[in-house]
Amino acid sequence: MRAVVAVAGSFLLLAAGSAVSGCLPGPVASEVASAAQGAEGASSSQDSTAGGALPDGFVEELFDVEGFEDVRVSDGEDVVGFLSHDAAEKAFRDVRGRLEASGWTFVESGLANAASFAKSGGAYQACFLSCTEVAGMTAVVVQCPHVGAGSAVTE
């Protein structure tokens, strides 16, 4: 049963990404969904790559991930995923509020609990947020490429 939920959760995360031009890379989405399977007693021992740190400027320009569990960062540091105990809708509202408080503008995607955000200036100028319930937890994935990384518009 756990394998079915993991596969279903991974599929949901990947399907949401595919619906928005493949915004959710498989490995991080899959890892976050897998982490939800072991949510009981989840630890922060895998709290991201790069020596346990979030990508440069993430906290200053996006939001602090304090209060979330099992934070993971992609090798390219353009995707951050983590778990929330809240329902997907509440987790989405929470993260949306944090982004808007940091100067990000909400851009409706037409998908439930998923949207793009934009801002001018800084190392990050566009991001995509997706919140999906998996095995009683909510997997939150934020894709936010660095300006100059070839996938964001520079000023």
pLDDT value of residue 34: 55
DSSP state of 130: E
Strand pairing report for 114-118 and 69-73: unpaired
List of domains in the chain:
2-143 (3.30.310)
pLDDT value of residue 53: 78
Strand pairing report for 105-108 and 79-84: unpaired
pLDDT value of residue 28: 47
Q: Position 60: which residue type?
A: E
Place of tokens 């987790």: 91
pLDDT value of residue 78: 93
User: Closest Cα to residue 29, out of 12, 13, 49?
Assistant: 13
Q: Which residues contact 31 (CB under 8 A, 6 or more apart)?
A: 72, 81
Q: What are the φ/ψ torsions at residue 72 (nearest 5 degrees)?
A: -135, 145
Whether 117 and 107 have beta carbons less than 8 Å apart is answered as yes
Is the pTM here over 0.75, yes or no?
no
Which stretches in the chain have pLDDT values below 50? 1-25, 27-29, 32, 36-37, 39-51, 151-155
User: Closest Cα to residue 32, out of 46, 22, 20?
Assistant: 46
Q: Which residues contact 38 (CB under 8 A, 6 or more apart)?
A: none
Identify the bridge partners of residue 73 per DSSP, sorted by sequence position: 80
